[in-house]
Chain A
């Protein structure tokens, strides 16, 4: 047996994972295994807690996408209690959901992913990071930091807390938006939309063309996709049907409450994180690169693939251009970066659309709710994928059982496969160096786990 390479921790990602690459005697890859090391047990310790409190506990599943857990959970509790949601509260939730996507995409593209593209995959690791970008391109870095900060502070000023929010409540939203707040948020969103347009153009002109070879090879696998669409088949982050697409582009749509008929979770001996798979395809689960079974992907590329169209004009134009170049469904893993920027444009446009409706300032944002026994499934599209919370409550409205399928977990099997593919392609005859290992990690980073 040849040597083992232990890439730990994976870096410039949002969670905890490592890769072990086992080489054979000739220095070629025998196997590359990705370990997902985090287990905290939210499903266990929300038991016995009042359901309305759980919406502000599960936020801690992820400090980068707490809004999406907060909202998915609140929707699940609404359903458990059979609660009506005040119309303005519903609009405020959807607005926050889209705003949170804006900041998330700026964070991932510029802070986590860009160092590989702006400075290059072969740059010294000591400078291949956002601090290196700040030195190499100080004006761009300052603008990026201002824009991300603007997005974060818009949410914090209105909703109190931007990290680990509390403002969505069963039955609605904790407080109304004033008209002056609405106008001010619209102005700020317009600034962010301009920045999104700049980012999209900049990436298409100066970044993606330089890495076409990497984009079409590193981590490339063929899978199905999952995402949410509205009743017209348009991309939607907040509500709608879940669409599960096969690798050949055919798909079925289902309500989130029926997810158990479509999604199963495989447990591998090498990972605390579970591997969701398409149970409804009736082919089981396999990460074999040549013959995968049940494997689908989530997150931006998946959503861009499953939607028929996008309801906002600029993002729709980008989608058309993307499809012309890469088809539907597009499979290359590094295209996640491109898809993410299309969604950045969409999130800005959609937020503006929601803020343009004065009804969002309705004074009644919250209906009282009555705890009771029930079962409720809630879902939203988190940046990292379809996020499902499923709760059962007792007659006091305390949680009896909970199941959560978190955005990133949909991609754990695909990430493992992309790593395996990239390692096999890049490491040959014992030749391995820092650039090669970073390129293997780029296959992970594209998924933004």
Chain B
């Protein structure tokens, strides 16, 4: 019997869904074992009946539920509860679902501050009012899924590597509990580390690091040791996939910014990174902007609005 799967996307960008499609032929070969009953990006099952005449959201029962995106408005919340009710095993897919992701950067601001900016840009008509008719009311902030519903499996990543999506699906098909890496990006990074360096100040990524493009990653010195901020030490591993050369941003010769969220589900990437820098004698005043260290994990009250000002 194929396994019934339901999918939903909430406060998200659809990158996680594209990551599922990037399973390529693996997904095609798995299809006979999967029975998608609801997934708006790919199929036409509707919330309010196929004729749009129901008043309650209804999603079919499924064994596995995939939810990407955090929870930002009343409709997201209703859909999240319906998914929880109808799915035996609920997977938080991607860092928006597990930790709020980039959209949780809004948690540094109130909704009024958001509206005041968005509906008053230079190109916007001067008489603009905040829309209220038939659009879902915003909650006070952006929530990770587990702040509102119980989550069974956390599969972070922005987006998650297709290898890990496959690992989870295959384990569930075999009736097993999926095992994902519990390490940091640095643990999977082949760059050369020479021990505590002479770096005292953090450099912005506006200059080219030292590397020989004809040589593999293991011939490049660690970007943090070269003085560039790199969130590898405080970020969960996985972006390299099963057989990658190394962490994906590092393989582009660009430092990590933490897109898999903290190594431990309840870790704090900001505090952990500041600790790491301080313990290496690096002046944290040289960081141009600390909130950026929480750019992927600002839910769970890590980022909070300054109601008086905002920028």
Residues of A within 8 A of B (CB): 3, 5-16, 18, 20-21, 33, 35, 37-41, 43-45, 47-50, 52-53, 56-57, 60-64, 66, 107, 111-112, 125-126, 128-131, 134, 141-142, 145-146, 148-149, 152, 156, 159-167, 169-171, 174-176, 178, 259-260, 263-272, 274, 276, 285, 363, 366, 368-371, 390, 396-398, 401, 403, 405, 432-434, 437-438, 441
Contact = CB atoms under 8 A, between A and B. Distances in A.
B21 A6 contact: no
A134 to B, nearest CB: 6
Interface string B105-137: 110110001100111011111001101111110
A178 B214 CA distance: 8
B204 A52 contact: yes
A407 to B, nearest CB: 14
A6 B52 CA distance: 4
A271 to B, nearest CB: 6
B15 A60 contact: yes
Interface in B113-166: 113-114, 117-119, 121-125, 128-129, 131-136, 138, 158-159
B179 interface: no
B86 interface: no
Contacts of A437: 50-52
- Listed residue (B11, B131, B207) with the most chain A CB atoms within 10 angstroms of its CB: B131
Contacts of A9: 40, 46-47
Nearest to A103: B18
B134 A20 contact: yes
A37 B214 contact: no
Contacts of A148: 21, 24
- Listed residue (B14, B24, B133, B310) with the most chain A CB atoms within 10 angstroms of its CB: B14
B290 to A, nearest CB: 10
Interface residues of B, number: 87
- Listed residue (B27, B252, B289) with the most chain A CB atoms within 10 angstroms of its CB: B252
19 contacts: A6-B53, A11-B40, A21-B52, A39-B138, A44-B117, A47-B311, A62-B13, A112-B42, A128-B43, A129-B36, A131-B31, A160-B252, A161-B239, A166-B257, A259-B123, A260-B122, A285-B125, A397-B204, A397-B206
B28 A269 contact: no
Contact of A5 (B52, B117, B132, B208): B52
Given A45-B109, A142-B28, A396 B288 contact: yes
A169 B228 CA distance: 14
A125 B311 contact: no
A22 to B, nearest CB: 11
- Listed residue (B15, B135, B251) with the most chain A CB atoms within 10 angstroms of its CB: B135
Contacts of A112: 42
- Listed residue (B11, B50, B122, B208) with the most chain A CB atoms within 10 angstroms of its CB: B208
Contacts of A62: 13-15
- Listed residue (A41, A169, A390, A397) with the most chain B CB atoms within 10 angstroms of its CB: A41
Given A161-B252, A267-B125, A437-B52, 14 more contacts: A5-B51, A48-B291, A52-B204, A66-B13, A112-B42, A125-B50, A129-B36, A131-B42, A149-B22, A161-B239, A164-B158, A363-B213, A398-B289, A438-B44
